[in-house]
Structure 1
Amino acid sequence: MAPSHVLVPLDGSPLADEALAQALELFDCRVTVLNVVTPIDAGMSEGGVLGPDGDRRANARDRAERVIERARKRTDATGRHVETAVETGDPAETILEYVAAHDVDHVVMGGHGGERGSLARRLLGTVATTVVGEASVTVTVVR
């Protein structure tokens, strides 16, 4: 059965971009792109290595908006419209909550995120695994 609402979590990685391209190519239905802003615990900042908490939040939110805007521009150029969302929280949990709350019936996502060697990549490496294992809907992982 063809889905009626596909969710594509985006983290700015090439695999996430490929997941969006695949979703748009494979499914002619409502598509939502979601970026999850992951709060950095203040305890992770040793000796002020990380900027003030408010600055980190603002920077993370700005980055999320840029990821979403880039996706919007790419899809608008193809003649497709996507809905967009930015949420804050643990990436896997937030994706799963979004699926349940917004009548999503298929998720298409990259297999891992972040830039090579970055903290984000190490932290997000298990997101796809968690979503595949816990989602109540079909999940397609792009590698």
Structure 2
Amino acid sequence: MVDSDRVLVPTLGRPREDEALAYALETFPDAAITLLAVVTPLDAPLSEGGILERSEERTERARTSAADLLESVGDPTAAERVRVETAEGRPRTVVPQYASDADVDHVVMYGHGSDTRGFVRRFLGRGVATTVVERTSRPVTVLE
């Protein structure tokens, strides 16, 4: 196994991302881990008035969701080893760029699993995980 000091775990608000964080905590016990909550501009839900939610509100919701994810892992050392960051943009662009800028050693993320949408994206070869693997010069572990 490659020794990694800095590990990036992107979170997109999808199910089972806690498994990627748990894997990173277990596999890289001495690493500093960044849980990156990616806020996709196109994911803004409509309010009752039909107005898009403000960027700050989506960012805060993503940060809260990532903090809840961190808490759900149940690792007593996680709070000391994991910091939560947010970034806005398309995950396919944001994750590789963040990995490069932050000089991380390894990226761990959850793939598509077996849901229908994931199957179609995997079949077409354009899922987020596939693109991150292609665009990142760092090792990437994709959990299914």
Question: Under a length normalisation based on structure 2, what TM-score does the superposition of the two structures give?
Answer: 0.76
User: Are residues 31 and 50 of structure 1, via their aligned partners in 2, closer, same or farther at CA, if it must alter by over 3 Å?
Assistant: farther
Instruction: Show structure 2 runs of 5+ residues with no match.
Output: none
Pick from 33, 36, 53 the counterpart of residue 35 of structure 2.
33
Q: Which residue of the partner structure matches residue 112 of structure 1?
A: 112
Between 1 and 2, higher relative CO (CA 8 Å, sep ≥ 6) is seen in 1
Mapping of residues 1-143 of structure 1, within 5 Å: 1-28=2-29, 29-40=31-42, 51-53=50-52, 55-74=53-72, 77-80=75-78, 81=80, 82-112=82-112, 126-143=127-144
Question: Under a length normalisation based on structure 1, what TM-score does the superposition of the two structures give?
Answer: 0.77
In structure 1, give the amino acid aligned to 2:50. Answer: G
Instruction: Show structure 1 runs of 5+ residues with no match.
Output: none
1:106-136 deviation per Cα after TM superposition (whole angstroms, max 9, x unaligned): 00000038xx678xxx7xx711000111210
- Supply the distance in 2 between the matched residues of 1:110 and 1:41 (Cα, whole angstroms): 19
Structure 1 segments of 4+ aligned residues over 4 angstroms from their partners: none
Q: Is the 8 A contact 1:8 1:32 kept in 2?
A: yes
Q: CA deviation at 1:7?
A: 0.3
1:56-105 deviation per Cα after TM superposition (whole angstroms, max 9, x unaligned): 53442232022221133245752222011010001111001100111101
CA RMSD of superposed structures (Å): 3.1
- Supply the distance in 2 between the matched residues of 1:105 and 1:134 (Cα, whole angstroms): 15
Task: Please state whether the residue corresponding to 1:104 is helix, strand or coil.
Answer: coil
